[in-house]
Amino acid sequence: MVPQIKIMLEELGVTGYAKERILELAEEVIEATYRYIENSPFRGTLKKAMLHLIGRGKLIRPIFSLLISRGLGAKKEPSIRLASAIEFSHIASLIHDDIIDNADYRRGVRSVHRIFGLEKAIVTGDAFILLSNYLTADLGEKIIKESLLAGLKMCIGEIEELEYQDTADLREYYNIIYNKTATFFEHIARASSILGGVSDLDVERFGEIGKNLGMAFQIRDDILDIYGKEDQLGKPIFQDRNRPNIIGILKRNNMSDDEALKYAEKLLWGRIWIAKDRLDMVPLDTWAKKVLDAVLNSIPSRFR
């Protein structure tokens, strides 16, 4: 099944129809990602390393893509192709992140570089990036450009994060989490809406939904990295202790723990309300809006 996504949905309090549809999409993503790797030229150790993290994560990004593309009436094969490419790109970033952080665990299992070695882990991450680009190549120039732009911005965010570490102020923090996390959601939403055939204006609106959803998720993860539990994050808490964290930044501004948490929650809700406002504007099918709205409402839950 899909344990991490199930744990996350339970933690967030997402139930009923929204939970059912998300789990259905998760199963579809897992089946497709396995299939694309099995049908690829990869063999031996590289194939084993690529399969190591498949199906173990929360699958937020590919599910988000499917909610938009399917909610706009896109066909099954192109939409799952895009969603799988998104998951492969995300896994590549996790493998490289774990190398940079010297992390022992990811998605509840040993990290790729701990099992297969540093050199093979780097190549595995590279292979995921290339497979992602290969899958999007047939989806049109606009979509592959959105995918590549997301990757370029993620590289900018990674370097900014490493340079600032625990010295970032609030403005720098926003720039970092936009480039490192939110931009991926932004361009996922844009690419998925392009696949759905909407107007340029609606592509912009979907991008705003993605950007603010990504910012909200990152703020939530930062809060959980200080106050949460390991099963909420899918990695050990404090694993990102050397990276800019909203709570640490606010506490450096002489806020108490409780004041910092309340202020961070306020910032999180601000992002959610922007995303909900744009969600009301876009021509998404009712079922997909219902699921996305349930997810947005649940993000700030379970901090205390």
Find the mean pLDDT for residues 62-67: 98
What is the per-residue pLDDT for 107?
83
In sequence order, the 6+-apart residues with CB closer than 8 A to the CB of 32 are 80, 81, 83, 84
What pLDDT is stored for residue 52 in this prediction? 95
Among residues 148, 91, 156, which one has the least CA distance to residue 125? 91
The pLDDT of residue 164:
85
Task: Give the alpha-carbon dihedral of 234, 287, 279, 22, to 10 degrees.
Answer: 10
Please name which of 90, 38, 96, 36 lies closest in space to residue 62, comparing C-alpha atoms.
90
Q: Is it the case that residue 203 has pLDDT exceeding 90?
A: yes
Q: What is the pLDDT of residue 285?
A: 98
% of the chain at pLDDT higher than 70: 93
* 8 Å CB contact between 5 and 232: no
Region 99-104 average pLDDT:
93
Strand 105-106 vs strand 109-110: parallel, antiparallel, or unpaired?
A: antiparallel
Statement: residue 1 has pLDDT above 70: no
Among residues 228, 177, 208, 211, the alpha carbon closest in space to that of 12 is found at: 228
Residues in a beta bridge with 105:
110
How confident is the model at residue 211, as a pLDDT? 98
Span 43-57, average pLDDT = 95
Residue 78 reports pLDDT greater than 70: yes
Q: pLDDT at residue 228 above 70?
A: no
User: Residue 220: pLDDT above 60?
Assistant: yes
Q: Where are the domains of the chain?
A: 3-293
pLDDT at residue 44 above 80? yes
Query: Is the pLDDT at 187 greater than 70, yes or no?
Result: yes
What is the pTM (predicted TM-score) of this model?
0.93
Q: Which value, in Å, is the radius of gyration of the alpha carbons in the chain? A: 18
- Calculate what percentage of the chain has a pLDDT beyond 90: 82
Q: CA torsion sign, 150 to 217 to 276 to 280?
A: positive
Rounded Cα distance between 216 and 36, Å, is 31
- Check pLDDT > 80 for residue 272: yes
Domain range 3-293, its CATH number among 1.10.1060.10, 1.10.10.10, 1.10.600.10, 1.10.3720.10: 1.10.600.10
Residue 130 has pLDDT above 90, yes or no: yes
- 3-state SS, the chain, equals CCHHHHHHHHHHCCCHHHHHHHHHHHHHHHHHHHHHHHCCCCCHHHHHHHHCCCCCCCCHHHHHHHHHHHHCCCCHHHHHHHHHHHHHHHHHHHHHHHHHHCCCEECCEECHHHHHCHHHHHHHHHHHHHHHHHHHHHHCHHHHHHHHHHHHHHHHHHHHHHHHHHHCCHHHHHHHHHHHHHHHHHHHHHHHHHHCCCCHHHHHHHHHHHHHHHHHHHHHHHHHHHHCCHHHHCCCCCCCCCCCCHHHHHHHCCCCHHHHHHHHHHHHHHHHHHHHHHHHHCCCCHHHHHHHHHHHHHCCCCCC
183 has pLDDT over 60: yes
**How much is the pLDDT for 301?**
66
Average pLDDT over residues 270-290: 98
**Mean per-residue pLDDT over the chain, rounded:** 92
